[in-house]
Structure 1
């Protein structure tokens, strides 16, 4: 019975999602090896150490994606599963406050043997599942009054705000921003007035712009000790503060400039050889541009665009609010991560340590995104099956 079900569902696989995912993972594994092998050799380690781990993450992620694809989506709405997942995530985030492994100024990792788990990555998927279930149940209770809607959403906002706060104090500004963006998009995906969304976005954008302009005119001090403040000031004045954190952005500029349109060739990056720290994570797209050129980078961004376009298309065209919100939430995670990563290496946004989806090295991110994509594949299959049933 189960094998028959598997065979029947395979025919509904969405290749607009599956093929970009596979190609992106292949690109990612290739670039992780290229960006890390020299550093590993210098450190006296196996040149393919990170490449091997990334392959393991990709294979495991693919297995989890297919498992989620064949899973009944009603399982994800089970209150005991959601409660258990919420409890574990909160426990993990609280654990980080006292025992988290600190990397680049943020205590965001829990070491488990040779690996490290990042609870904030799993928190992204939890928030999507929790809000999609909660908001879909309240769909018929929405009104035109903003006050009434705010009362309706008070409990979901309170729980999500608690998770965002725990991520923010790690401190992980990038992760907290992604979680906040997911929450906002999913709330307005329920059909709330776009005027509220426009007002909120305008207010936040205005505040950030004002703060940036103020900081640009602040007298630069070399005695600043705050890691996060250093990163913000380095973003505003990278060349003046090259020795205080600005070197990352400066070397990212050099890498992009070196690559030009067609790149120096695979493996020929200069900046990965000790100039850009951990080039296989946050700045892997800078190394990609240096080796494969702007053309190679545009191919990667184009594949991400196809993936995002398909996810949001499914969200718009499904008749079920739960499916719509899942697609919007998952699409927002991928979009905002891409925006923050690309914006950071170009100097348009502050460097937040956000990885590039499916490309950067990282187990937690790869597994979470694979599971999320499995959910979207599942939704696509359900929609195709429903259409086939109505036309036959």
Structure 2
């Protein structure tokens, strides 16, 4: 029965998810080349160095997407798989924690978040996102009947998953990776409330978090803006509040992002003609790639990319809302939240609406770990979409 379904599974493929993914990856690869080639040439390296790596990441990601699409979802719920995945992620995060304390020189842009493996690097916090989605979906869906009772009578059911997530979140935050920790926190909130927790408890929690963040930013805004501030992360946060006053202390990224967007206008300067990518905007192929895209192909080009991401995000959440199983619902909510929050943080950062957190733009920015995790997550959602379509087809016939 399952083999027969696997052979016919391709007819249930969700093109509302697959086509935006393919288009975004193609645009991303092209723009990674455009944003990085000049810098590579200036530094005496191959102009297509990052482009070649990005193509490798896209190819591996597509293989992972197909693998998880055809995989039996029950495999992902295996307690042994979840246990060993948790151990590997914890060990990797603990290694980075130790590295940040005993080898501060290993930090990149103020954070110790990457483990080098040959010519490539992996970012454990990216894989932690996928682990938390799988773990919470499995744990909470197994307790679905218990969760239908009164919330406060079953609050103890949340202690184990909250403890694991909190430990991972703290280790990511200590790297320090504020963006990654925030995404993990948002994924956890959305998945918990996706189980049917009363809205008022969710509103209280979200209001509390918003109040704390707002208060912290207000306090930081009154700090003495002196050159004695040495913390890279604090500089970036203060630069978000005063980018032009602190242009030489972390504000240059945001200032040059504004210049790039302003240069591009509605239609852009033309592909490859960005000015800000030529040494003005640091690492333009990662966090600020959308600024370069806007400069080269205009605001309209950037809106097309955001439109494709929006189609994908809305489709994923709609699949979660209409899913017949809580496990399917929670997987969709988790993956959808990762893509949405990463997009929101990235765009908010380059526009100066949010602090710069180093979060990449999904499927567009250069980065192997992010590409592989997002492709795997999307493969799981495609798998769920196919199963739901098959069930709907069976009910009609």
Instruction: Calculate the TM-score normalised by the size of structure 1.
Output: 0.98
Please give the per-residue CA displacement for 1:345-373, whole angstroms capped at 9, x wherever unaligned. Answer: 00010000000000000000000000000
Contact kept? 2:112, 2:175, Cα under 8 Å: yes
Question: What SS is found at the alignment partner of 2:113?
Answer: strand
1:9 paired residue number: 9
Q: 1:143: Cα distance to partner?
A: 5.3
The aligned residue for residue 159 of structure 1 is 164
Per the alignment, residue 18 of structure 1 pairs with: 18
SS at match of 1:116: strand
Structure-1 separation of matches of 2:194 and 2:154: 13
- Cα contact 2:267–2:298 (8 A) shared by 1: yes
Q: Check if 1:97 corresponds to 2:97.
A: yes
Q: Deviations over 1:237-283 (max 9, x none)?
A: 00000000000000000000001100000000000000010000000
Deviation at 1:391, TM superposition (A): 1.2
Note if contact 2:268-2:298 (Cα within 8 Å) is conserved in structure 1.
Answer: yes
Q: Tell me, yes or no, if structure 1 residue 349 matches structure 2 residue 371.
A: no
Q: SS of the counterpart of 1:111?
A: strand
In structure 2, the residue corresponding to 1:108 is in which secondary structure? coil
What does residue 34 of structure 1 align with?
34
Correspondent of 2:327 among 322, 327, 340? 322
Match of 1:52 in 2: 52
Q: Which residue of 2 aligns with 1:290?
A: 295
Question: 1:143, 1:149 within 8 Å by CA — same for their partners in 2?
Answer: no
- Preserved CA contact (<8 Å) 2:86 2:131: yes
Q: Distance in 2 between matches of 1:105 and 1:169?
A: 11
Displacement after TM superposition at 1:211 (Å): 2.1
Task: Tell me if 1:171 matches 2:176.
Answer: yes
Structure 1 alignment gaps of length 5 or more = none
Shift of 1:105: 0.8
The structural deviation recorded for 1:150 is: 2.6
CA distance in 2, matches of 1:147, 1:87: 31
In structure 2, what is the equivalent of residue 137 of structure 1? 142
**Count of residues paired in the alignment:** 392
- Which of residues 228, 235, 239 in structure 2 aligns to 1:230? 235
Q: If the length of structure 2 is used for normalisation, what is the TM-score?
A: 0.97
Task: Measure how far apart 1:390 and its partner are.
Answer: 1.4
Cα deviation, 1:328-387, whole Å, max 9, x if unaligned, reads: 000000000001000000001000000000000000000000000000000000011111
The answer for the alignment partner of 1:67 in structure 2 is 67
- For 1:340 and 1:207, the matched residues in 2 are separated by 18
Query: Paired residue for 1:122, among 118, 123, 127?
Result: 127
- 1:80 — aligned with what? 80
Deviation, 1:220, is 1.0
SS in 1 for 2:228: coil
- Contact 1:311-1:328 within 8 A present in 2 as well: yes
- What are the Cα deviations for residues 105-136 of structure 1, in whole angstroms up to 9, with x where unaligned? 11001110000010000000000000000000
Deviates more, 1:310-319 or 1:149-158: 149-158
SS where residue 153 of structure 1 aligns?
A: helix
CA deviation map 1:216-247 (0-9, x unaligned): 22221110111111111111100000000000
1:301 to 306, 314, 318: 306
Q: Distance in 1 between matches of 2:215 and 2:262?
A: 30
Gaps of 5+ in 2: 101-105
Whether the 8 Å contact between 2:36 and 2:285 is mirrored in structure 1 is: yes
CA distance in 1, matches of 2:256, 2:65: 36
Q: Is the 8 A contact 2:12 2:390 kept in 1?
A: yes
